[in-house]
Amino acid sequence: MGQNPGMSSLPVEWRIERSVGLRDLNTFGLPATAKALVRIRSDADVRRVLDHPELGRLPKLVLGGGSNLVLTRDPPGVVLRVEVMGRRLVEERPDAWIVEVGAGERWHDVVAWTLDQGWPGLENLALIPGTAGAAPVQNIGAYGLELMDRFESLDAVDLVTGRSVTLDARACAFGYRDSVFKRSGFGGLAGKSLITRVRLRLPRPWQPMLGYLDLERKMAETGQSAPNARTVFDWVCAIRREKLPDPQAIGNAGSFFKNPVVTPEQCRDIIARDPHLVHYPMPDGSCKLAAGWLIDACGWKGKSIGRAAVYERQALVLVNRGGATGAEVVTLARAIQASVYGRFGIRLEPEPVVV
Ligand SMILES: Cc1cc2nc3c(=O)[nH]c(=O)nc-3n(C[C@H](O)[C@H](O)[C@H](O)COP(=O)(O)OP(=O)(O)OC[C@H]3O[C@@H](n4cnc5c(N)ncnc54)[C@H](O)[C@@H]3O)c2cc1C
């Protein structure tokens, strides 16, 4: 079994940190302050918060790596920073390796570690920032693969009752950049539970997923038509480094809008007016449109409102030019939505969670 030495963690003191600046805890670099912040390293840590006379009744914001968040204000209540660690192989089946990781592990480290252990299957999701625990929240996806394609189950703690539960893929109700953890209202679990561990299913034998334009280009450039998992990992990292701004250098939250899905009629209608529309036919007959193309077509690339701007190399990414506030990012996002709606009749839906 591939046990990680980090799994046998020593007990760490549970404490409440007061007035914690969050600028360095979100990749957009937006200013906000947590009145109270508690680092969560186990299910028991969550229950300590719920049983606490002051914190127990306050609203709770679960925070991973802060790479899919727009902070527009100081979060009300207490911030729970997820730092549950550990990685291990839980089962070796003829058809798959089942791997369990703590929710606080960095997602990219998990991808690299599984590859190092000889359990490939996550390479298309390399270099996505954030934690393993947040990966199911929006069913992260890239280069033709989504988390749901490699998901086995997860453990979470109910933020009201303190009960630990295990959920399978069906209960998570995954969709495109969506899951039960992003939905509020009846049946939704947004803000209601904290994921502590995620189990991944890495299929055997390994099959490369190469049906994505950028990867097809890499195959053509290198002449390698049957790359191994390590090569796919390296290609994905190289493509991402070229296309996306590094949050260490320029604050951002990756793609700011989901790619809208429209009916074939809507798609034909837009193509009649804009023949260059970038679109992808879906198996169910609908059509996915490239949100970045729609934004670019409205002339937004490189434009800014205050210190928030549209990245000049990829219109789908909004960036912090330095010192932006969450309000500026939201104002820019709304202006983009209005012009895309005005020209194409399509409502763009933000991908990050706005607090
Ligand atoms: C440069 C860049 C590139 C990106 N590329 C991609 C990409 O290719 N594909 C993609 O899908 N995403 C991408 N993202 C978005 C982001 O990396 C992912 O959504 C990631 O999974 C967020 O992880 P996080 O730990 O930072 O979550 P956070 O931003 O901390 O939280 C996001 C949401 O999840 C909730 N949450 C976090 N952890 C938990 C938990 N343990 N339990 C319950 N709820 C939790 C939070 O409350 C919040 O609502 C990119 C972001 C950046 C900055």
Ligand 1 mean position, distance from CA 67 (Å): 5
Short-list 138, 178, 174, 181, CA closest to 159? 181
Residue 67 CA: nearest ligand 1 atom is: 26
What tokens appear for 298 in the block? 């409205």
Helix (H) or strand (E) holding 114: helix 107-117
Single-letter amino acid code for the residue at 197: R
CA of 169 from ligand 1 middle (Å) equals 18
Tens-place pLDDT, residues 54-76: 999 999 999 999 999 999 999 99
Q: Which of the four pLDDT bands, split at 50, 70 and 90, describes residue 12? A: low
Give the Å distance between the CA of 73 and the centre of ligand 1.
Answer: 19
- Which of 137, 165, 314, when mutated, tests ligand 1's pocket best, judged by the most ligand atoms within 8 Å of its CB? 137
Closest atom of ligand 1 to 103 CA is: 41
Q: In this structure, what token pair is assigned to residue 92? A: 């070796």
Q: Which residue bears the tokens 């490189």?
A: 302
Residue 355 in contact with residue 70, Cβ under 8 Å? yes
Residue linked to tokens 């193509």: 271
> pTM for this one?
0.93
Task: Give pLDDT, residue 322.
Answer: 95
Output the CA angle 215-246-194, nearest 5 degrees: 90
* 334 to 9, 55, 330, 337, 347: CA distances (angstroms): 45, 34, 6, 5, 10
Reply yes or no on whether the pLDDT at 131 is more than 90: yes
For the record, the structure tokens of 81 come out as 């920073």
Q: Check residue 11 and give its pLDDT.
A: 53
**To 10 degrees, what angle do helices 229-243 and 107-117 make?**
160
d(C-alpha 308, C-alpha 332), whole Å: 7
